[in-house]
Structure 1
Amino acid sequence: MKQLSIAAIKQQLLEQEMSQEFLEQLKRDERKGVQALLRTYERKQQKLALQKNAFQQMSQFERKANAMGKQFVAGIDEAGRGPLAGPVVAAAVILPSDFMLLGLNDSKQLSERMRNAFFTVIKEQAISYGISIIGNDIIDKVNIFEATKLAMKDACEQLKPSPQHVLIDAVKLNDLGCTSEILTKGDQRSISIAAASVLAKVTRDQLMAEIHAEYPAYDFQSNMGYGTKHHLDMLKEHGPSPYHRRSFSPVKESI
């Protein structure tokens, strides 16, 4: 073939699916720039293959349910059980059977940029999703575990169509009206639960940014309500805000 410029080769590697014949020709090209591009391309292909394999592994529970005739499989997860302030947020989501979002994982393992990008994709492509927010006042009345279950069940009940099978991250829910599975570390094992974790985490982070604007002293935008040193120092200095969970020990002690 006519020898392409390094710039043209770079463009082709970025934009097209490369044939094995073309890659073999590049391997015989002695230019250092071409070999550097080829190494970068091969590393990207290896990463892509790993991501595809991981996604397939995380789809096993959904595929198993589909094989049993369960067309609508929902994943449920929460964000915000541990913080000293703010709501607990739960999300439920039903993904289409052909859904593909490489890199999807437990929201805590994703960068903020990736979470926000995935948040948009999941909302756009989901068959249905529900998000439930339970404030600190309810958390103080019923305790954080019961509030988490309330949020999870409410998020699930928002789904239309109703799920035929539900995958839940580590919490048992009763009276769902369908079969369910509880998965330990489910946000790392199921794409549906991982998608729900992204919806819950991003929604809660947005809420904490709004609360931060109202009460900036506690630095909620950075700590998301968790008990960092600065946050605890501000609690001692200013006492709790209206968004603090008064049933949690560090907050209770600051009153």
Structure 2
Amino acid sequence: MDEVGRGAWAGPLAVGAASGDIEAAAIVLKRSRGAGYYDSKALSAGRRQTLFARLADVGVVFGIGFASAVEIDALGLTHSLSLAAERALRELELRLPCPLGERTVYLDGTINYLTKVKVITLVGGDGIHPLIAAASIAAKLARDSLMIRLDAELPYWDFDSSKGYGSLRHRFGLSWQGPSVEHRRSFRPVHELRAPASTYFSSPAQVK
């Protein structure tokens, strides 16, 4: 399992879970140069989609769980990670031949935010364990797709490009329009930039 979107100012937190043949996943994700595996951060959007399809072709199955901005504001990041992870595991379990209780979850990072399954945490796990790398790719694809769809509904905050992180146009959107319904209002930058700013810009598209 791996998470995406922990530091974003807007949009949900996403946790991906992947299960399948480790050796098959390793072949798909092995770096062309050096040791380790391609994770979501090392790939372009197109390459992520290609490798995700190849992982599915070799039998890797996925579950994705989200925790909303409202839940993050109300519960904090750690609790929200637990919620998203539980949702991802429930979705994954629907696709597996045996219950998750019989399996071990390899979790990227140092913090175990799961309680109902056996967990092994791995620092830098998305670069050294192929199924964690696969989970990171799936979570990134799912969250990015959601942020792109949100941009069509909420066009002032650069969600298409920034994916909810603090780009220049996102900052301008906050200072011009304040936070949207998808913003994490408990995050300091959202709070500090939400007041209307004095500016001659009439549209975030004018910001370069």
TM-score grouping bracket, smaller chain normalisation: 0.7 to 0.9
1:135 correspondence with 2:68: yes
| 1:226 pairs with 2:165 | yes
Identity of aligned residues (%): 34
> Is the contact between residue 15 and residue 85 of structure 2 (CA under 8 Å) also seen in structure 1?
yes
Task: Report the AA paired with residue 116 of structure 1.
Answer: Q
CA contact (8 A) 1:107 1:194 kept: yes
Cα contact 2:85–2:114 (8 A) shared by 1: no
Task: Pick the structure with greater CA Rg.
Answer: 1
Q: Which of the numbers 73, 77, 82 marks the counterpart of 1:144?
A: 77
Number of positions where the alignment pairs a residue of Structure 1 with one of Structure 2: 179
Contact in 1 for aligned 2:12/2:68 (Cα 8 Å): yes
Contact 2:20 2:59 in 1 (8 A): yes
Q: 2:81·2:113 contact (CA, 8 Å) conserved in 1? A: no
- 2:136 maps to 197
Give the CA deviation at 1:97.
4.4
Unaligned runs of 5+ residues in structure 2 are 32-36, 196-208
Alignment gaps of 5+ in structure 1: 1-75
Q: Deviations over 1:4-32 (max 9, x none)?
A: xxxxxxxxxxxxxxxxxxxxxxxxxxxxx
Q: 1:98: Cα distance to partner?
A: 4.3
Residues 153 and 173, structure 1, Cα contact 8 Å, conserved in 2: no
- Out of 249, 252, 255, which is 2:188 matched to? 249
SS at match of 1:226: coil
Shift of 1:166: 1.0
Instruction: Please give the secondary structure, in 2, of the residue aligned with 1:245.
Output: coil
- Corresponding residue for residue 175 of structure 1: 115
1:208 aligns with 2:147: yes
- Distance in 2, matches of 1:118 and 1:198, equals 8
Q: CA shift at 1:149, angstroms? A: 2.1
- Matching residue within 169, 187, 210 for 2:126: 187
1:38-94 deviation digits (Å, cap 9, x = unpaired): xxxxxxxxxxxxxxxxxxxxxxxxxxxxxxxxxxxxxx0011000100001111111
SS in 2 for 1:212: helix
- TM-score when scaled to structure 2? 0.80
Computed over aligned residues only, the root mean square deviation of the Cα atoms, in angstroms, reads: 1.7
**Which stretches of structure 1, 4 residues or more, deviate above 3 A after TM superposition?**
123-128
| SS of the residue 1:210 aligns to | helix
Secondary structure at 2:73's aligned position in 1? helix
Residues 205 and 224, structure 1, Cα contact 8 Å, conserved in 2: yes
Of residues 86-95 and 150-159 in structure 1, the stretch that sits farther from structure 2 once superposed is 150-159
Distance 2:69 2:188 in 1: 14
Higher normalized helix content (fraction of residues): 1
Q: What is the TM-score with the length of structure 1 in the denominator?
A: 0.66
Match of residue 103 from structure 2: 164
Instruction: Out of 121-130 and 161-170, give the one that drifted further.
Output: 121-130
Q: Which of the pair has the greater relative contact order for Cα pairs under 8 Å at 6+ separation?
A: 2
Establish whether residue 236 from structure 1 lines up as the match of residue 175 from structure 2.
Answer: yes
Check conservation: 1:86, 1:135, Cα contact below 8 A.
Answer: yes
- 1:126 shift after superposition: 3.4
